[in-house]
Structure 1
Amino acid sequence: MTSFQPTAEFAAELDAQDALRDFRNQFHIPLAPNGQPSIYLCGNSLGLQPKAARAAVEQEFESWEKLGVEGHFHGTSPWMHYHETLTASTARLVGAKPVEVVVMNNLTTNLHLLLVSFYQPTATRYKVLMEGGAFPSDQYALESQARLHGLAPDEAIVELRPRAGEHTLRTEDIVATIQELGDSLATVILGGVNYYTGQAFDMAAITRAGHAVGAMVGFDLAHAAGNLLLHLHDWDVDFACWCSYKYLNSGPGGTSGVFVHERFAERPDLLRLAGWWGHDPADRFQMKKGFRPMTGAAGWQLSNAQIFPMAIHRAALALVDEAGGMPALRRKSEQLTAYLEYLVRRLELPATVLEIITPADPAARGCQLSMLVHQNGRQLFDFLAAAGIIADWREPNVIRLAPVPLYNSFGDVQRAGQVLAEWAAGKAK
């Protein structure tokens, strides 16, 4: 970080050298109160709208208008097989084989569907491990899954907590807890990136540890998909799901992705909640009793494709591929986040005022930096907003800043650092 400089001129030099700089022009940037483009650092909550999204949806409106029900079989992208147009890009995105992924439903729906299959407690193996303070949807999903099996959530769910005085979890402590639970552990389900702290977990090490004691291991990748380099197949992860409206820029409430390792591809005996669209397409339209799942992750589908959200998602995924995929995005992301960290740390504020709770190790974080503001945090958030910087506030006192490589510039980050410096200077008076 010592090679960085806090000036606008330095940031402009970095932007001039950035091979991805023109992708910013592929997005609509919200305007600040002064009518100028805002500094949008909230992609970890909702990504920006790709300019191609509107045309992608309009194409499907046109098919509906002109073809009606025949749009399922005719037109530019027949709806019958629309979800399949997303498979290759999705597999590249998360480091999977095509048979291991499918796009369907929404995130929490998919989490429930996967837990039906991969959390099957017995009288002795019934514990499920998650991080304490996980996003509420995950907490609620696991609570209700435990109750579905007649278990008390407080007895079935084990929550990981940081050591005293620390904000994030140590991998060795996660592994040690898995080993301690041993034969009682049925399933591990963690977020790939913790939404609050921004910590990225060592998914490969956690998966190895879980498998060593005979547990299933899965991840909620809401804050990891489109953010981290993922290798779900090679890491031997059992299952995962993610949303598409954060780093994947596919619109509010956008469609969700699912990963199921190929070792389960030919497991019709595996318990699941079945739906018509997950049935073998060879005889799907014969409308007979007796569910026979499709091979791979597609066998977890319930209903036919959500065409309009998927059209947006398809346009957004195309931008990821055009940019060179996650390796290229990750390289820029690490630079952007490191620059932001440099600008925050050079304020030299005491930890009693402001501290970064996201790990300093680039391998243990994605785009996001979470700042714990001990004094007047909401005032700082409002100060940023008044200066045209769109950040994210999380109770009780965390501000999340997420410079996204597809549309954020080093100039954006420099400007955010300048505003933070102005706030810090005001506090010193």
Structure 2
Amino acid sequence: MIYHNTLQFALHLDEQDALKSFRDEFLIPKHNGQDAVYLCGNSLGLQPRSVKKYVQDQLNAWEDNAVEGWFIGNEPWLKYHKTLLGPLSNILGAKQTEITVMNSLTVNLHLLMVSFYKPKDKRYKILMEAGAFPSDQYAMESQVRFHGFDPKDAIIEVAPRIGETTLRTRDILKQIADNADELALVMFSGINYYTGQLFDLEAIAKAGHAAGALVGFDLAHAAGNVPLKLHEWDADFACWCSYKYMNSGPGGISGIFVHEKHFADDTLNRFAGWWGYRKDKQFLMAPGFEPENGAEGWNVSTSPILLMALHRASLDLFEKAGGLPALRAKSETLTGYLEYLIGEVNKKHGEDVYQIITPTDKAQRGCQLSVVCKRKAKAIFNYLADNGVIGDWREPDVIRLSPVPFYNTYTDVYKAAESLFEALEAVK
């Protein structure tokens, strides 16, 4: 697409947008009585208007049925989680049996590593990207310490080349091959939270398995943002949160993927709970854990129905919109337009104050653009916020802006670029 730096062009794109009606499905924060330009869906997605009804339905079921709500009513709670699996299977590229919804992201990461980090003899190391989100770093450190290893020795971090900000796929694959004899696990983010780089997960999974390691992914910034094919890519496991691009509320419910090839492997350790017990015998309350077949066998605790209702409200919108393909198509042009406009701001100012460190190749990014601000970065970020442009800040000088195809418009992006230019004039 050939972009133009005019409000009329942005309004034209909005008018032609096949998904434009979905903006009305979300509650947009206000600034001085007008809709804010909300570009922070990479941190917390907006609230769907339907959330109140979905939650109220379950509050009504609780009021009307009390404990019997687990077994009676339009949507008995005992199987409520299954209403989420169809939409999630489409978003994640997985079979429904390979998915379950539970807990929060880092809790799930730890539970999965109980099963899939299996150090033995000289094969005890974990390979991950340098600069992964701190929770992932802390989880890996604590897991290797739990097994008696020193993180400085047991964790291999793949860093960008000197002078570069993102990773080259061939460097990742080379590190995997070079350490093949010692790797127990390859654990990568789908998208790096800081740079916005989307990794080639298929290639990483293939290389990890060729090296004799298991492969897992943290999809916090990828799920609901970019197309995924976890089953086809042969990932061993994955986990994600739902409160970013899946708009399921602050601290929303998480989920896990376990490839079906592991379902019958009784050598895998797991921390068990009653909710993961085989369903046909669950209420016999017998001793001795027998897992339910599939990912549900990794469940531990009772389903939090109200959190799942929040999640379902958003997932049903994904289905209504036609799933990830339609959203991804808009995302590519929307983010591409923001990239173009930032370049125009630099030209107009006569200096490249804003440097985008996210890859320019749309196949290597999702919604997010990470922008290094080379002059009074925090003051410029504050100027944006004071003028109704909501992004988020990462030390020391990065502003993350994420136009989400569900609710952001091309006009939003145009206004954000205007504010970026105005900030340069206002912040001296």
Q: TM-score, normalised by structure 1?
A: 0.97
Whole-Å separation in 2 of the counterparts to 1:308 and 1:426: 45
| Matched position secondary structure for 1:190 | strand
Which of 264, 267, 270 in structure 1 is aligned with 2:268?
A: 270
2:95 pairs, out of 91, 94, 97, with 97
Shift of 1:268: 3.2
For residue 319 of structure 2, what is the aligned residue in structure 1?
Answer: 321
SS of structure 2 residue aligned to 1:218: strand
1:246 paired residue number: 244
Task: Please say if 1:310 is aligned against 2:308.
Answer: yes
Specify the alignment match of 1:113 in structure 2: 111
Residues 268 and 292, structure 1, Cα contact 8 Å, conserved in 2: no
Q: Which residue of 2 aligns with 1:331?
A: 329
8 A Cα contact 1:238 1:261, kept in partner: yes
Q: Provide, for residues 141-164 of structure 1, a one-character-per-residue CA deviation record: whole Å limited to 9, x for no partner.
A: 111111110111111111111000
- In structure 1, runs of 5+ residues without a counterpart are none
Deviates further, 345-354 or 359-368: 345-354
Within 5 Å, which residues of 2 pair with 1:209-220? 209-220=207-218
Asked if the contact 2:169/2:199 (under 8 Å) is kept, the reply is: yes
* TM-aligned CA distance change 1:208 to 1:353, over 3 Å: same
Q: Map of 1:282-321 to 2, 5 A cutoff? A: 282-321=280-319
Question: Which amino acid in structure 2 is aligned with residue 403 of structure 1?
Answer: P
| Residue 266 (structure 1) shift | 2.1
Which residue does the alignment assign to 2:423?
Answer: 423
Q: CA deviation at 1:426?
A: 4.9
Contact 2:357 2:370 in 1 (8 A): yes
Q: SS state of the match for residue 186, structure 2? A: strand
**Shift of residue 352, structure 1, vs aligned partner:** 6.7
AA matched with 1:266? A
Residues 99, 265 of structure 1: 8 Å contact kept: no
| Correspondence 1:222-241 to 2 at 5 A | 222-241=220-239
Counterpart check, 1:17 vs 2:16: yes
The match for 1:88 among 78, 82, 86 is 86
**Alignment correspondent of 1:50:** 48
Q: How much does 1:51 deviate?
A: 0.4
Distance 1:219 1:352 in 2: 35
| Whole-angstrom CA distance in 1 between matches of 2:423 and 2:26 | 29
* RMSD, aligned CA: 1.3
Aligned equivalents of 2:7, 2:374: Cα separation in 1: 29
| Separation of aligned partners in 1, 2:168 and 2:345 | 27
What corresponds to 2:401 in structure 1?
401
- 1:177 and 2:185 are equivalent in the alignment: no
CA distance in 1, matches of 2:74, 2:124: 48
Amino acid at match of 1:416: A
In the TM superposition, what whole-angstrom CA distance separates every residue of 1:333-374 from its partner, at most 9, and x where no partner exists? 000000000000112368873210000000000000000112
Report the alpha carbon displacement of residue 425 of structure 1 after superposing the two structures with TM.
Answer: 4.4
1:265 Cα deviation (Å)? Answer: 1.9
Give the TM-score of the pair, scaled to structure 2. Answer: 0.98
The answer for the alignment partner of 1:4 in structure 2 is 3
Alignment correspondent of 2:375: 375
State, as a whole percentage, how many aligned pairs show the same letter. Answer: 56
Aligned-pair distance for 1:376? 0.7
Matched length:
426
1:400 aligned counterpart, secondary structure: strand
Q: Of residues 72, 75, 89 in structure 1, which corresponds to 2:73?
A: 75
Match of 1:384 in 2: 384
Distance 2:253 2:362 in 1: 29
Q: Secondary structure at the match of 2:334?
A: helix
The amino acid of 2:176's aligned partner reads I
Aligned to 2:412: 412
Gaps of 5+ in 2: none
- Give me the whole-angstrom Cα distance separating, in 1, the residues matched to 2:234 and 2:186: 13
Contact preservation (8 Å) 2:394, 2:400: yes
Distance 2:62 2:200 in 1: 45
SS of residue matched to 2:47? coil
**Aligned-pair distance for 1:386?**
1.5
Residue of structure 1 in register with 2:361 after alignment: 361
- SS of the aligned residue for 2:332 comes to helix
Conserved in 1, the CA contact under 8 Å of 2:380 and 2:424? no
The one-letter code of the counterpart of 1:31 is K
Residue equivalent to 2:132? 134
Are the aligned partners of 1:104 and 1:301 in contact in 2 as well (CA < 8 Å)?
A: yes
